[in-house]
Amino acid sequence: MTLRRTLTALAATAVLTLLPNSAQAAGTYPDPRPITGQQIIHDPTVIHLKSGRYAAYSTGGIIGARLSKDGKQWDDAGNAFATPPSWWYEYNDTGDPWAPDISYRSGRYWLYYAVSSWGTNHSAIGVATSPSGLPGTWTDHGKVFTSERTDTWNAIDPAIVKADGKLWMSFGSYWTGIRMVELDTRTGKAKEGATVHHLATRPDAPYAVEGPYIVKHGRHYYLFASYDACCSGVNSTYKIKVGRSTTITGPYIDSTGKPLLEGGGDLLLEGHGRYVGTGGQSVFRDRGQDWLAYHYYDTKDSGTPKLGLNRLSWTKNGWPRVF
């Protein structure tokens, strides 16, 4: 990198660090990191495996898998499972899973995922474990948590977070928004009779907020969520918003103090240029750096959903920014 480019990058970082807390200023949204190979993906969850490779799992296939040696060149690696577990067919006719989440604890990799049908909250979240995190090595352990048509929440889009020695799962899509339950640390499944906490919603139906992901930074927990419409190619209006709380179960508020339960949320990333409908996000940490993973629809490739990766940094006031 030349000295001029280095100074330009440092200047841009300094400007973003000093931006107001409310939202990443209009026109400053960065393009995703250039990648090569198999870029097509939806609802990505990414992890740096202990073996040294990167793995990305996603909606599509029987939980589609991508592998990379450097986080830049990605290769198709098939699916997490060879065949769908039989119980998936209780929730859709094709055994089609959605929105996985991968994490590592207790010497194993844990893969959470949802099975449902479009437009219904007859849904379930399941879990599988693997010693390596690689496709083809997963053992399914069945249902973690379910929702029915009589519930006011939807058991899809799971994301796992540890807090104060406890294990929690945020989830939700439409049906009044984002929820959370405590999990049993041994089984990885919802505790019997667990309270269903309410974290975020929109003021009006259809309450278009989904895909939560929570991370801790400093003394706060940060709730990232996707707002508005997914899955419509170049017509998608997905965008990523964030709020924070000092306790895992909330209340979560944005930088103006507005609760996410009242429609609040700081805009972190939205469509710009060829990158439309940014959402389905997750966050992973790699060599001390936080990264935001998401999908976007490429207007220069017929709206094909592709993997977006951006560095995630934090202002002095503790709010996230993408670079």
Strand (E) or helix (H) holding 11: helix 3-17
Tens of pLDDT, residues 160-187: 999 999 999 999 999 999 999 999 999 9
Statement: residue 159 has pLDDT above 80: yes
Query: Which CATH number does the domain housing residue 281 bear?
Result: 2.115.10.20
Cα distance between residue 125 and residue 141, in whole Å: 11
Residue with tokens 């179960």: 249
Report the percent of the chain where pLDDT is more than 90: 91
Query: Phi/psi at 139 (nearest 5 deg)?
Result: -110, 120
In which band, very low, low, confident or very high, does the pLDDT at 8 lie, cut at 50, 70 and 90? very low
Cα distance between residue 126 and residue 121, in whole Å: 15
Cα distance between residue 212 and residue 209, in whole Å: 8
For position 23, what pLDDT does the model report?
A: 55
Of the ranges 1-5, 36-40, 144-148, which one carries the lowest mean pLDDT score?
1-5
- CA nearest 211: which of 91, 130, 101? 101
User: Is 267 buried (19+), middle (13-18) or exposed (0-12) by CB count in 10 A?
Assistant: middle
For position 2, what pLDDT does the model report?
A: 37
For position 28, what pLDDT does the model report?
A: 85
For position 256, what pLDDT does the model report?
A: 97
For position 27, what pLDDT does the model report?
A: 55
For position 92, what pLDDT does the model report?
A: 93
Identify the DSSP state of 299: G
Cα distance between residue 310 and residue 293, in whole Å: 7
Active-site residue list? 43, 210
Query: Phi/psi at 88 (nearest 5 deg)?
Result: -60, -30
Average pLDDT over residues 82-109: 96
Q: What is the pTM of this model?
A: 0.92
For position 18, what pLDDT does the model report?
A: 38
Cα distance between residue 90 and residue 114, in whole Å: 12
- Mean pLDDT, the chain, rounded, equals 92
Tens of pLDDT, residues 100-151: 999 999 999 999 999 999 999 999 999 999 999 999 999 999 999 999 999 9
Tell me the CB-side half-sphere exposure of residue 297, using CA atoms within 13 A.
17
Instruction: Tell me if 264 sits within 8 A of 195, measured CB to CB.
Output: no
- Structure tokens of 186? 């041994």
Tell me the CB-side half-sphere exposure of residue 165, using CA atoms within 13 A.
0
Tens of pLDDT, residues 239-276: 999 999 999 999 999 999 999 999 999 999 999 999 99
Statement: residue 20 has pLDDT above 50: no
Number of folded domains that form the chain: 1
For position 68, what pLDDT does the model report?
A: 98
CA distances from 153 to 156, 172, 181, 201 (A): 9, 6, 12, 11
Range(s) of the domain holding residue 125: 3-322
- Structure tokens of 11? 């200047």
Residue with tokens 């929570």: 214
For position 14, what pLDDT does the model report?
A: 39
For position 277, what pLDDT does the model report?
A: 98
